[in-house]
Structure 1
Amino acid sequence: MSLPVLPRRGFMAAGLGLVFALAACGGGTETPAATGGSPAAASPAGPWTFTDDRGKKIDTPTRPARVVAQVGAAAALWDFGVRPVAVFGPHKLKDGTKDPQVGDVDITKVESIGNVWDEFNVEKYISLQPDLLISGMYAKDALWYVPQKSAATIEQVAPTLGVSLLDVSVPQLIKRYGQVATALGADLDAPEVAEAKARFDAASAALPTPEAKGLKVLVLASGPESIWVANPDDHADLRYFKELGLDLVVPEKVDDGGFWQTLSWENADTYDADVILVDARTQSMRPEEMKKKPTFAALPAVKAGQVYQWHAEERYSYQGYADVLEQLNTDLAKAKKL
């Protein structure tokens, strides 16, 4: 989701110009769906089949080896041990350093076929001779960061695999990416995965901390003219925070595209909150910039210094969300009821 891609279709629908807004086995046996079981790793030789979250069955002569992935999918799969040959979507900042959205992917060892919204180098993609393209989906059957104008050509080059990011919570998505990784030959029992899962489970069990109980938490992103209040049920991470017991502000009127309620800066005080979580992506304004808006600076949570980061597009792996939950627990432990 780049600024205008806060990922989510709501930003795109608003025309912001910002775009913040699966598993298989060998031998021809189809793998279970996202909600079912843990498939065995596929053999690199022999037929490979997989049914993605569009209900699309993918059949290839052998297990895909040359995988190209949108950065969110690439980062999750990397943590499970899958190494894509190329990525697309936000992975490099203007200063040449890694965009946080790409996680632990070594961008010096993968090709880039696009770094911003609507940038997908089809010619380079073809030259890489990919076996499979993987991307998440924030809208039904629409692969995130795959430009619609080139979709037909891209589909002809290699099979595509979509992971739905809608109406699910973090554990479900981690499980699903784990299934995809297993199908591609990864070992989910690897020590680094097991260690990360233990951290994830412990941090989940600790939320909300005793200090966080009773705190009202507002989650938002912002641009020069508007504030976007996140609707928890439309964001997998916020849905999970709610499931764990965090008291999140639910906007009264969500935009037509879902995900957000758009407010003017004059209405920054629409919702009372003890804590504000601000989108940490580069497309959203930083808290220091936001504080230059008088209506935001006057909010009780801002005055109390209880404004923290929201990692809106963290990769869906145990490593990614162990870090997120541990930091959230640390931040909320410092906050007080206002």
Structure 2
Amino acid sequence: MVRTTRVAGLALAVAALAGCSAPAPQDSAGGWTYVDDRGVEVRSDEVPHRIIAQVSAAGALHDFGVPVTATFGPLVRDDGTTEPEAGSIDPAAVADVTGPGYGELNLERAAALRPDLLVSGKYAEFDGLWHLTVEQEDRVREFVPTAGVEQSGRSLPETITAYKELARSLGSDVDSERIRADQARFDAAAERLRGIGERMRAQGRSILAVGGTKQEFFVVVPARNPDLDYYVRELGLPIQTPAHPDTAGGGYFERLAWENAGAYTGDVLMWDTREASLPPERMKQNPVFAAQESVARDRFVEWDAVAPFSYASYADIMTKLAEQLEEHTPVG
């Protein structure tokens, strides 16, 4: 029998300050307990093994050795390729229980899988779990408990650690040789970016993270995104912060009309690779944007904004970013 309860007290406060989830050890009866980043305690008679997860959370769990039964959220693109958000997940190996609208699940299909646990990311500024509305979660909890991993307001390594510890509680050997090798690659890529940041700052060069839709142009706020915040605060990449973030939307971007797309400039442009955001070729169709020197010289690097939070995922992402930055910011 599985139940969820709200937990209060000093232990949770300490866990929250530590910036990661607080999985409890197995009890003498072999049961499973996990306290998520919302302060929700989940208990089960045994370790969950039929897991439904939002695709990014699924990718992180998979990288840490935990298989998932089903996913929800963007899994496959229109061209048949796997969404970057899903990371290492093989779409053919999981059931897709995404519903017809954003934040919805196919409840009948999800319930038929008899899941033990549902996992998704959590953003403090918004109610509900990522890709799951509050109303949908209420219905989901009728047949499966949910766990949320905080993905805002803390650093990239802290968020990765939260998924690692969740995977540990679910029985994975997160100290295996493979995962230690993934962490070593992550650390090496981080050092490479740190060196690039030092050189760019010495040269007076900057990076601007941007994206756009048909309706608007936007500039990304590094501090509101765990990966970019880590790149700036810990690795020293000179990513600019826009002056007027859209606080009503959580402060993740400054939204601008396309005629104001030249309000900020950078020596290198980091573009949002999500399918809903326009690629550089489409953004160049705007003459104001196209007039920037960095655009004319195609100084673009990729920002994988919603990648799985794992060492394996970000080792690849940071290595790619380092290679692209080195191409556009040569030594000398």
Q: TM range, normalised to the smaller chain?
A: 0.7 to 0.9
**Is 1:131 matched with 2:119?**
no
Query: 2:281 aligned to 276, 283, 288, which one?
Result: 288
* Equivalent residue number for residue 293 of structure 2: 300
Equivalent position of 2:62 in the other structure: 78
Cα distance in 1 between the residues matched to 2:186 and 2:41: 32
Residue 165 of structure 2 corresponds to 179
Contact (CA 8 Å) 2:24, 2:34: kept in 1 or not?
no
Cα deviation digits, residues 25-69 of structure 1 (max 9, x gap):
xxxxx9983627996875897211111000111111111111100
Counterpart-to-counterpart distance in 2, 1:40 and 1:187: 16
Q: Which stretch shows the higher mean deviation, 228-237 or 41-50?
A: 41-50
Q: Is the 8 A contact 2:60 2:308 kept in 1?
A: yes
1:70-219 pair list within 5 angstroms: 70-114=54-98, 117-138=102-123, 139-140=125-126, 142-208=128-194, 209=196, 211-213=199-201, 214-219=204-209
| Residues 1:44 and 1:317: Cα distance change in structure 2 (over 3 Å) | farther
For 1:187-266, list aligned pairs within 5 A. 187-208=173-194, 209=196, 211-213=199-201, 214-243=204-233, 244-255=235-246, 256-257=248-249, 258-266=251-259
**Does the C-alpha gap of structure 1 residues 44 and 306 become closer, same or farther in structure 2, counting only changes over 3 Å?**
farther
Paired AA for residue 113 in structure 2:
L
Separation of aligned partners in 2, 1:119 and 1:200: 34
Q: Distance in 2 between matches of 1:300 and 1:117?
A: 37
- Cα distance, 1:191 vs. partner? 2.1
Give the unaligned 5+ runs of structure 2: 1-10
Please give the alpha-carbon distance, in whole angstroms, between the structure 2 residues aligned to 1:88 and 1:265.
33
2:51 maps to which residue?
A: 67
Residue identity opposite 2:122 in structure 1? M
- 1:112-140 per-residue CA deviation (whole Å, 9 max, x = no partner) reads 00176234101111111110000001235
Q: Distance in 2 between matches of 1:107 and 1:43?
A: 35
Does 1:270 pair with 2:295?
Answer: no
User: Which range moves more in the overlay, 323-332 or 30-39?
Assistant: 30-39
Distance in 2 between residues matched to 1:95 and 1:42, nearest whole Å: 44
Corresponding position of 2:328: 335
Which residue is 2:7 aligned to? Answer: none
Q: Amino acid of the residue matched to residue 15 of structure 2?
A: A
Name the structure 2 match of 1:33: 15
What letter corresponds to residue 70 of structure 2 in structure 1?
Answer: A
What SS class does the counterpart of residue 50 from structure 1 fall into?
strand
* C-alpha separation in 2, matches of 1:253 and 1:99: 31
Q: 1:69·1:88 contact (CA, 8 Å) conserved in 2? A: yes
CA RMSD of aligned residues (A): 2.2
1 CA distance for matches of 2:103 and 2:179?
33
Q: Which has the higher helix share?
A: 2
CA 161–305 in structure 1, closer or farther in 2 if over 3 Å, else same = same
- 196-205 or 41-50: which moved more? 41-50
Q: Secondary structure at the match of 1:206?
A: helix
Structure 1 contact 47–62 (Cα < 8 Å) conserved: yes
CA contact (8 A) 1:44 1:62 kept: no
Q: Secondary structure at the match of 1:105?
A: coil
Q: CA deviation at 1:296?
A: 1.1
**3-state SS, counterpart of residue 117 of structure 1:** coil
**Does the Cα contact within 8 Å between 1:254 and 1:260 map onto a contact in 2?**
yes
Q: Do the aligned partners of 1:120 and 1:147 also contact (CA within 8 Å) in 2?
A: no
Aligned residues between the structures: 308
Task: Name the % identity.
Answer: 37
Distance 1:260 1:234 in 2: 9
Higher mean C-alpha displacement, 146-155 vs 285-294: 146-155
Q: Does the 8 A contact of 1:132 with 1:160 survive in 2?
A: yes
Question: 2:165 corresponds to which letter in structure 1?
Answer: Q
Distance, in Å, in 1 between the alignment partners of 2:28 and 2:172 is: 11
CA-to-aligned-CA distance 1:240-284 (integer Å, 9 cap, x gap): 110210111111011122101001111111112101011111111
Which moves more between the two structures, 142-151 or 197-206?
142-151
> Any unmatched runs of 5+ in structure 1?
1-29
